Amino acid sequence: MIKTVKKYFALLIAIPIWVGCSSAWSEGERVLINEADYSRMRVVTIANEADSLLLRTPSKPLTQRHIKAPEFGRLVASMVETVGDPENEGVGIAAPQVGVLRRVVVVQRFDKEGTPFEVYVNPEIVARGERVVLGPEGCLSVPDRREDVSRATEITLRYCDAVTFELREERVEGFTAVIFQHEIDHLDGILYIDR
């Protein structure tokens, strides 16, 4: 699984960078991302008042300039390291959870062979199936809690391809659909405990 993720990030990092263009990332974002240097990042939690306010703030979309800048590859690699931390492992993470208010998530695809982690840029749910189930959820940003949440068992996901920046749509079902709903809520400033 980690080998698949590393191959994916090697491809992202190999994307040509616009020569002479300043980064689309803010100075604060660049500092936070570069400090992590491809390793685990601090997870912001509701236990800290400033973190809690950040988690309640909607995220901004990424542009092609964001993706072509070196910070993008560093951010997503660090997000994968963070969600895969054996001491605090998760199945998905959104950029706001590491302090970056941008619309990017990393989701473990339990609906694919090998259950890889994949990166989604500017994801949105454009349709939800009628069937809803109540199931337990937890969150890296809401430590030591689990609650039951109602989620659709099927969604239609739209996102930008991180390499071509083309719009893609796919139908996602089951537990993976629940993960996407949880992580996209983070991008909108919503925590599962709000539901």
Q: For 92-137, what is each residue's pLDDT tens digit?
A: 999 999 999 999 999 999 999 999 999 999 999 999 999 999 999 9
pLDDT for 88 equals 87
Contact between 98 and 25 (Cβ < 8 Å): no
* H/E segment holding residue 181: helix 174-187
Q: What is the pLDDT of residue 111?
A: 96
pLDDT at 9: 46
Active site members? 183
Three-state DSSP string of 74-143? HHHHHHHHHHCCCCCCCCEEEHHHHCCCECEEEEECCCCCCCCEEEEEEEEEEEECCCEEEEEEEECCEE
Domain ranges of the chain: 2-194
Q: Is a pLDDT exceeding 70 seen at residue 20?
A: no
Q: Residue 174's closest CA among 109, 114, 117? A: 109
CATH number of 2-194: 3.90.45.10
Average pLDDT, the chain: 90
Percent of the chain whose pLDDT exceeds 90: 84
What are the CA-CA distances from residue 180 to residues 91, 104, 115, 143 (Å)?
A: 10, 11, 14, 19
pLDDT (tens digit per residue) in 142-160? 999 999 999 999 999 999 9
Greater confidence (171 vs 16) lies with: 171
Res 45: pLDDT = 97
Q: Is the dihedral of CA 170, 101, 152, 143 positive or negative?
A: positive
Q: Write down the pTM of the prediction.
A: 0.88
Across 74-97, average pLDDT: 96
Q: Report how far residue 193's alpha carbon sits from residue 128's, in angstroms, rounded to the nearest whole number.
A: 20
